[in-house]
Amino acid sequence: MLFDAGTISFPGLGIEGINPPRTLPFTVFGKDIYLYGMIIALGFLLAIFYAKKRAREFGTNFDLVTDAILFAVPAAIVCARIYYVAFRWDVYRDNPITALYIWEGGIAIYGGVIGAILGLILFAKVRKQKLTPYLDIMALGLLIGQLIGRWGNFFNREAYGAEIFNDFLLRMGITGADGVIRYWHPTFFYESVWNLIGFALLHFLSKKRRYDGQTFLQYVAWYGLGRTWIEGLRTDSLYITGTDLRVSQLLAAVSFVIAVGVMLYIRLYKTPDGSNMLVNRKPASDPVEVPAETSPSATPDEATHDDENAVNSTEAQ
C-alpha cells in the first residue's frame, strides 16, 4: 500500500476531493472498527439474504443453506489467510506467529473461494446432501460479496493497478503526503463492475439451468476471465516464489479454461434436460396397499391384473 491517507479523485468523471475514512469515528472495547470489515460484512449479509430467497429454486431450504454457510465461511476465512501467507512468506518467516494476526490484514479471495468449496464438500458429506446445488448458490452469493466487498479496497486505498500517465477516463487520483497527485487504474472498481455484470447475468441464467453445478461452472468461467485481465493491471499481486508469475492470474486463467472445457463437454456429450436436478426430483410415492378383493371365480392371474390396475389408477391420481 503506497497511500494510507490522501484525497481520492476521478477527474475523468468530474469527481474530486473524496477523503474516505478507514475506520469509524469510535472504537469498540478500545479496538478500531475498519470500514473494510464493515463492507465485507454487508456483502456477506446480502449474500445470505439472497440465498434465503432462492434456496427452494435449487431444491433445498434456508435451514440447510444456513448449515452449509456454517461449514463454508470458517473454512473460507482460514484458507484465505493461508493462501495469502503462503505467497508472502518472506513477510512472516522471521516471526511466524504474526501469520495468525489476521486482523492486521492480508487475505486472498481465491484462497477464500477454495476454502468455501472445501467447506461445502465437508457439509455435503456430513449432512448427506448433493453438493452441486449448494455450489450454485455459493457462486451467486460470492458474486454479491465480491462486488460489494471490493469497495473496502477503496476505503483502504489499495488493490489499484498500474500508474496512468494520460487522460484515461476512469483514472483514479490519490494525493500523496507530498501533495502530489498520482493516477492509477482503479482495479477494485473494475472487478466490482465485472462481478455486478456477472451476478446479473448468472441470476437470470440460473433460472434456466439444465443441471446442478451449471451456475457454479459459469461463475468460475466468468470470474476467471475477468480476474485474468484485471490481475495483470494490479501492483500488489501475489507471485509464485522465484518467478514473475502472478499466482491469482495464473489460477484465474486455468480455472477459466477448465470451467469452459467442462461445460462444453457436458453440452456435447451429456445433453442434460434438467430432470436430474435436485429441484426437479420428486420423492417416490408411498406404496399403495390395495386389497385383493376378487370373486371366487377369479383366477390368480385375473386377481393380480386387477390389483395392478388399481395401483396404477391410484398412482395416476
Question: Does 219 map to a domain?
Answer: no
In this structure, which amino acid lies at residue 32?
D
pLDDT at 103: 74
Length of the chain equals 317
Same domain, 52 and 158: yes
Rounded CA-CA distance 144/170 in Å is 23
Same domain, 176 and 298: no
Q: Which residues of the chain have pLDDT under 70?
A: 1-4, 282-317
Question: Does 112 map to a domain?
Answer: yes
The angle formed by the CA atoms of residues 255, 99 and 22, to the nearest 5 degrees, is 85
pLDDT at 4: 61
Same domain, 195 and 304: no
Range(s) of the domain holding residue 304: 291-317
pLDDT at 300: 43
pLDDT at 134: 97
pLDDT at 23: 84
Residue 181 C-alpha cell reads as 497527485
Question: Does 308 map to a domain?
Answer: yes
Domain boundary among 182, 204, 226: 204
Domain boundary among 171, 204, 237: 204
Number of independent structural domains in the chain: 2
Question: Does 255 map to a domain?
Answer: no
In this structure, which amino acid lies at residue 167?
D
- Check if the beta carbon of residue 138 is closer than 8 Å to that of residue 113: no
Question: Does 71 map to a domain?
Answer: yes
pLDDT at 282: 56
pLDDT at 34: 85
pTM of the full predicted structure?
Answer: 0.84
Same domain, 194 and 307: no
Whose cell is 493461508? That residue is: 82
Same domain, 175 and 309: no
pLDDT at 238: 86
